[in-house]
Amino acid sequence: MRKIKMGVLGVGEMGKRHAENLRRLVAGAELVAIADVAEARAKQVAEELEIEHAFGSLDAMLELKGLQAVLIATPDKLHAQAVSQAAKAGKDILCEKPLALTMADAYAALDAVGKAGVRLQVGFMRRYDPAYAAAMKRIEAGEIGTPLIFKSVGRDKDEPPMAAYHSGVNGMIFYTNTIHDFDLARWMMRDEVAEVHSYGTSVTRPEVAKFGDVVASSVNLQYRGGGIGNIESYASATYAYDVRTEILGTKGAIFVGSIEQTPAVFLSANGSSQTLADHFLTRFADAYLVEVRDFVQNVLQDKPVRVTGEDGLKALATAVAAESSIKQGRAVKVTMERSATT
């Protein structure tokens, strides 16, 4: 069986999981290299996974003979440049979200991909989650009629350490968390977001505001076709990793991730009456695996990827507008202009 020789760039928590999946659970892939700016970490992960090649930079890994594709799992700010470098080297790419932190950087990355004629898939793994995939099939079949209202909740259990803000390499909550919901918002509603109005607070952790970020946010959505929506994000729920989505249509509704029906549910850091996910790698374990398998199979079969750079660009445009809305204190149009800024 022919296999795609792949390398993983960035082996923090997310990248290491991808590397483990590629090494052990993706039949069509051969993990041949690990790269990380912390070369000692790259070597450690390579040793654990019995991979021969470990590098301290993407440039070094790209020189490896036979390398065909790269999975990018670096901090947010470094995604676009890594995509451009890998594309110029002729490698197919699976890049974690977000595609970039600015529209200009995103377009530059897509320009490099287009010029090189390589594949780029953006890591919106929720599309591959069995529950979300099943819901989307029913929407596409017209079972709920025309989607009219989108609601989504994304709550991380543990707040990021302050070092994550000090580093300057991660985007604010709209890029690190809500970007998944922005992608679902257009994918599941089968329509584009036209305008957003965002609200945010850091009242429980005021130091976060110094870095232009918020602890919790609520983003109202207006769609081109007349639909509406709301997305709530929270960086420190304490009780669980809690992700839920509702789509209401003219003939019915779909609920993904709803907590089981009980007379009353109490949730706290000390536990609850329900079995709850405690981490995104737990909740979406299957999705991350199916996502990579799909990318590998499409490369092997010379087919287009399912989640494109254009998908990454459109979700980013919503995130940029949401950040701009918070800063300006008003509703902001979502624009695809290359020069759009916050």
Four-way CATH pick for 127-285+315-333: 1.10.150.120, 3.40.50.1820, 3.30.360.10, 3.40.1440.10: 3.30.360.10
Nearest alpha-carbon partner for 135 in 80, 64, 189, 195: 189
Fold assignment, 4-126: Rossmann fold (3.40.50)
pLDDT grade, residue 275 (50/70/90)? low
pLDDT reported for residue 280: 77
CA distance 166 to 169: 8
Percent of the chain scored above 90 by pLDDT?
A: 85
For 163, residues 6+ apart whose C-beta sits below 8 A from its C-beta are none
Q: Where are the domains of the chain?
A: 4-126, 127-285+315-333
Nearest alpha-carbon partner for 313 in 138, 154, 161, 186: 186
Among the listed ranges 107-116, 127-136, 211-220, 253-262, which one has the minimum average pLDDT value?
Answer: 253-262
Would the pLDDT of 300 be above 80?
yes
CA distance 207 to 76: 21
CA distance 71 to 96: 8
For 117, residues 6+ apart whose C-beta sits below 8 A from its C-beta are none
pLDDT grade, residue 221 (50/70/90)? very high
| Token pair of 75 as six digits | 């901090």
Q: Could you report the per-residue pLDDT of 175-203, keeping only the tens digit for each?
A: 999 999 999 999 999 999 999 999 999 99
Nearest alpha-carbon partner for 324 in 123, 110, 103: 103
CA distance 26 to 294: 9
The answer to whether the CB of 154 falls within 8 A of the CB of 177 is: yes
Q: Could you report the per-residue pLDDT of 305-331, keeping only the tens digit for each?
A: 999 999 999 999 999 999 999 999 999
Would the pLDDT of 268 be above 50?
no
Q: How many CB atoms lie within 10 A of CB 212?
A: 13
The answer to whether the CB of 309 falls within 8 A of the CB of 113 is: yes
CA distance 22 to 229: 36
pLDDT mean across residues, the chain = 93
